[in-house]
Amino acid sequence: MSLPALLLENALNWRHQLHQLPELGYQEQQTSELVARVLEQAGLQVFRGIAGTGVIGTLENGPGPVIGLRADMDALPITEKGIAAWKSTRPGVMHACGHDGHTAILLAAACQLAATRDFSGTIHFLFQPAEENLGGARRMTEEGLFSRFPMDAVYAMHNWPGLPLGTLAVNPGAMMASLDSFEITLSGRSCHAAMPESGADPMVVAAELVLALQTIPSRRLSPLASAVVSVTQIHGGEAINVIPEQITLRGTVRCLQPEVRERVRGLIEEFVTALPRPFGVSGDIHWYPGYPVTANHPAPAQQVREVAEQMLGDAQVKWACSPSMASEDFACMLEACPGAYFWLGADGEVPSAPLHNASYDFNDALLPVGITFWQKLVESVLAKR
């Protein structure tokens, strides 16, 4: 299946334009304007304002199932180090995760499907804001995405450095880990650093606690369970000769099974409460809402696999791939609707820089692969009877 040259040219131009003008979560005003304009020109019904800057384009073509295809639109607060002509023009903001490419692919797929219409049913093209840590998928769901636009299944793709271009990875179960963030406050009693016996030192407790939390995955869980506990920040103290009164620790927990997630949270709370006591220090923890496990539903995942094998060949499809311990807010959509999330390999002859890296740039060779896959998936799931 060959795509029109003009469509590919447009997709490339959209991708570069979006990369030059990146916008952070819930600030995707220019991105949303571009998306809405292109969808309207292609003849789709366009709905704006869900989750603030979200855009939905609906394409109906007779009776049949209803599916959703999702692309994320937001950028990251990173200063780009690239040298491409389309380098970010906004200091401190860049598309370091490829959402510019995801958006361009889905826009082009919408245009192609509106032109060919070789399917029977309805497609909702979901352009989601604020995937990066801000939970745009959860907000879209809470604002009635699936009640206003009922769907039989919803799908999302992500470019994936580390996999060769022309490969696709999908799993019938977990693809990405859950995410929970925490803030631990250790409260002691301040004193002169030369007289530690006259105070209660939260700094020593912080050191003990950081190491103790690492025993949760290694000693308190089965080796078959998947969990990561990472303390990423320690804050406290003002003078080098004063033991501080408080220390704050922040970090994240990642798990691949919901029951493990609950177990880890409970164990961390036990450590925070019990470990400081012999030191005369108290511990308190505050949890920040995170994302659930990105868990595919077997039937939609199998559909992705079959289309990928037909398009790319069996050897290019990584079925039942190893999940990533990173997280993805598309998980919130998968909790509300059956669907599947999958990865498209991003490595060309020169391997891609990692995601969330200042030197990353989306591999434009992925554009025709992604557009064609969306078209083939739609024509398979919404096959004319």
Q: How confident is the model at residue 1 (pLDDT cuts 50, 70, 90)?
A: low
Task: Give the pLDDT confidence of 73-120 residue by residue, as tens digits.
Answer: 999 999 999 889 999 999 999 999 999 999 999 999 999 999 999 999
Q: What is the pLDDT of residue 133?
A: 84
Please indicate whether residue 2 or residue 125 has the higher confidence score (pLDDT).
Answer: 125
Which stretch of DSSP H or E encloses residue 220? none
Q: Angle at which helices 5-20 and 366-381 pack, to 10 degrees?
A: 120
Predicted confidence (pLDDT) at residue 227 exceeds the cutoff of 90: yes
Predicted confidence (pLDDT) at residue 374 exceeds the cutoff of 90: yes
Which residue matches tokens 């033991």?
243
* C-alpha to C-alpha distance for 162 and 165, rounded to whole angstroms: 9
* C-alpha to C-alpha distance for 215 and 193, rounded to whole angstroms: 30
Range 24-35 average pLDDT: 97
Range 348-361 average pLDDT: 95
Which residues are bridge partners to 58 per DSSP? 45, 124
Please give the model's pTM, rounded to 2 decimal places: 0.92
Which residues are bridge partners to 287 per DSSP? 182
Q: Are strands 54-61 and 121-128 parallel, antiparallel or unpaired?
A: antiparallel
Task: Give the pLDDT confidence of 252-268 residue by residue, as tens digits.
Answer: 999 999 999 999 999 99
Predicted confidence (pLDDT) at residue 290 exceeds the cutoff of 90: no
Range 339-345 average pLDDT: 98
Q: How many CB atoms lie within 10 A of CB 172?
A: 18
Range 330-351 average pLDDT: 96
Predicted confidence (pLDDT) at residue 319 exceeds the cutoff of 80: yes
DSSP 217: I
Across the chain, what does the average pLDDT equal? 96
User: In degrees rounded to 5, what are phi and psi of residue 283?
Assistant: -125, 145
Q: How confident is the model at residue 50 (pLDDT cuts 50, 70, 90)?
A: very high
Predicted confidence (pLDDT) at residue 385 exceeds the cutoff of 80: no
Best CA proximity match to 58, nearest among 125, 148, 104: 125
Contact by Cβ (8 Å): 333, 290: no
Contacts of 5 by beta carbon, 8 Å cutoff, 6+ apart:
none
Range 224-234 average pLDDT: 96
Predicted confidence (pLDDT) at residue 289 exceeds the cutoff of 80: no
Range 349-370 average pLDDT: 96
* Sign (positive or negative) of CA dihedral 159, 161, 165, 169: negative
Over pLDDT 70: what percentage of the chain?
Answer: 100
Q: What is the pLDDT of residue 187?
A: 98
* C-alpha to C-alpha distance for 92 and 88, rounded to whole angstroms: 9
